[in-house]
Chains A and B, each alone.
Chain A
Amino acid sequence: MVRILLFAGLAEAAGSSVVSLEMDQAEWTVRAVREKLSELYPALQDLLEKSMVAVNQEYATSADPVRETDEIAFIPPVSGG
């Protein structure tokens, strides 16, 4: 089970700021997490595609690995300042 943090519009669309995914193998890729989330939450798909992913609070690429112990966050386009 991996926990995924959601923020801003993503959290609002999901109705929660944290979602969990069952992992069927020890190691996934960021891409696999994004695809699985889109499958489970079709309403999030557009925004998930526009979002960056952070693994352990550092921006990750689609090919980067994800493990159960990692802190994973989807970062919608930012608007600070």
Chain B
Amino acid sequence: MKNFSITREKIEIQPLIDFVSHPNAGAICTFIGTVREMTKGLKTLYLEYQAYEEMAEKKLRQIGDEIVAKHPEAKVAIIHRVGHLDIMDVAVAIAVSTPHRDASFEASRYAIERIKEIVPIWKKENWEDGQSWIGDQKEKVSYPTGKPEIKEEV
């Protein structure tokens, strides 16, 4: 498997864990993002995810590179699903291995936050009473400089 990928299939977690497993790892942290039914009182029926797939895979890889720049011994794998997703389906999965636990927690948190900033993937909510494309989850509605701020710190 590729360690940074966009898929249309159901996500399996174990291949990501296998990918980051190695003898010097003392910790593997996984994050699994799933489709939630209720958001602020609104009921979601299902989601549709769309990606600019080739660029999205590049940006996932960039996130992995940023993590390795901060934690040289880290291994990272990220997969994001697109298409029609039902409640409780896995939308994204991240696995990070590091020699010690602190770095693996920090890096997996960093990865999911960074996905919401720079990876060209969009979610369309299909509510009980309508539908809408969701943007601006991090309240960054506009980019006066034309691109998102690049974070220095991991």
Bound together, the chains give a CA A57 to CA B54 distance in angstroms of 8
B49 A73 Cβ-Cβ under 8 A: no
Q: Which B residue sits closest to A12, measured CB to CB?
A: B133
Chain B residue numbers with a CB within 8 Å of A60 are 146-147
| B interface secondary structure, majority | mixed
- A-B pairs with lowest CB-CB distance, top 10: A80-B121, A77-B135, A8-B122, A59-B147, A61-B146, A57-B55, A9-B133, A79-B134, A79-B123, A77-B136
Residues 38 to 79 of chain B near chain A (Cβ within 8 Å): 49-52, 54-56, 58
Selected contact of B135 from candidates A54, A64, A79, A81, CB within 8 Å? A79
A7 B146 Cβ-Cβ under 8 A: no
Smallest CB–CB gap between B93 and chain A, Å? 11
- Check if A78 is an interface residue, CB within 8 A of chain B: yes
A73 B146 Cβ-Cβ under 8 A: no
Selected contact of A49 from candidates B80, B92, B142, B147, CB within 8 Å? B142
B142 A79 Cβ-Cβ under 8 A: no
**Given A49-B142, A52-B148, A76-B33 contact (CB < 8 Å):** no
A50 B117 Cβ-Cβ under 8 A: no
